[in-house]
Structure 1
Amino acid sequence: MTEPVVQPVVVYDGVCLLCSRWIRFLLEHDHEGRYRFASMQSDNGRRLLQAHGLNPDSPFSMLLVEDGRGYTDTSAIARVLRGLPRRRWHWLSNLILLVPHTIRDFAYRFVARHRYRLFGRSDQCFAPSPEQRSRFIS
């Protein structure tokens, strides 16, 4: 059964090295612990993807679930950056949103489609430290 989504949840590809770097970045900069995480390979990650109309077996999108709504691709990235504390990353969120939606999502999906070849792939999902474990939904 899917855990109730109270905090915003980022669903990511747990074996993608680029995606794992993104999660490490968020863990480092989200000092308030606003975001929780679920890999696409987990039961809850798969359920969240399906609930928001994404195919968990062919995931080219990152998903942010916030306040019951799903955000994907560059909209999800910009929204996550805007949600980080101290406004330090808001400028990047604004820069992303300046680019027309169709262009930025085309570029995002190109990278997503080729992410394993460009950035690598791990045989296992990113493993959080014991201190970070509470931020992950299995």
Structure 2
Amino acid sequence: MRIILFDGICNFCDASVQFIMKRDNGAFKFASLQSDIGQELVARHKLQGIDSIVLIEEDMAYTRSTAALRIAKRLKGLWSFLYIGIIIPKPLRDPLYDLFAKNRYKWFGKKDACMLPTKEQRARFLA
């Protein structure tokens, strides 16, 4: 199972989950970082202080730009070609990711509570 953990109060993160769900052919399950299951998975994978996207794949946890690129690899259409960015060394990719992540609330805003999935989407979210 592939699980994406995301910031449930971030507007950009919510929009990203919606974007992924339309293009992943059901490849991913989702949980917010703020949820009980999200916190359990963060603890299990020893991801202290994490507030970025996390991809758990085959019991390995990927964060930041590596998570984003590995997710893109599974999307239909031309989005999968973004995975080519994995050849850029992580010390060059992650600072760009961090700059975006640091400003995501300022640029896109945040919510008071996590999103409520539609009836059709509920099966894709871990309780």
Q: TM-score, normalised by structure 2?
A: 0.92
Task: Report SS of the residue matched to 1:114.
Answer: helix
Contact 1:60–1:113 (CA under 8 A) maintained in structure 2: no
Give the corresponding residue for 1:4: none
Match of 1:52 in 2: 45
In the alignment, structure 1 segments of 5+ residues that lack a partner are 1-6
2:30 alignment partner, SS class: strand
Sequence identity percentage: 35
Q: Give the unaligned 5+ runs of structure 2.
A: none
Q: Using the alignment, how far apart are the partners of 2:37 and 2:51 within structure 1?
A: 17
What SS is found at the alignment partner of 2:62?
strand
Q: Report Cα offsets for 1:12-60 as digits up to 9, x if no partner.
A: 0000011111100011112x211000001100001111222212xx433
Q: State the one-letter code of the partner of 2:112.
A: D
Q: Distance in 2 between matches of 1:50 and 1:11?
A: 12
C-alpha root-mean-square deviation of aligned residues, in Å?
Answer: 1.4
> 1:85-118: per-residue Cα shift (whole Å, max 9, x none)?
4x53221121x22432112101111221222112
How does 1:123-134 map onto structure 2 within 5 Å?
Answer: 123-134=112-123
- How far apart, CA to CA, are the structure 2 residues paired with 1:93 and 1:54? 23
TM-score norm. by structure 1 comes to 0.85
CA distance in 2, matches of 1:60, 1:105: 14
Q: Which stretch of structure 1 is more off in the superposition, 114-123 or 14-23? A: 114-123
Question: 1:88 aligns to what?
Answer: 78
Question: Which residue is 1:11 aligned to?
Answer: 5
Q: Secondary structure at the match of 1:102?
A: helix
How many aligned positions are there? Answer: 127
User: Tell me, what secondary structure is at the counterpart of 2:114?
Assistant: coil
- Cα distance in 1, alignment partners of residues 94 and 6 from structure 2: 16
User: Which of the numbers 14, 31, 39 marks the counterpart of 2:32?
Assistant: 39
1:74 and 1:108 in contact (8 A); partners too: yes
Matches of 1:14 and 1:107, distance apart in 2: 22
The structure 1 segments of at least 4 consecutive aligned residues displaced by more than 6 Å after TM superposition are none
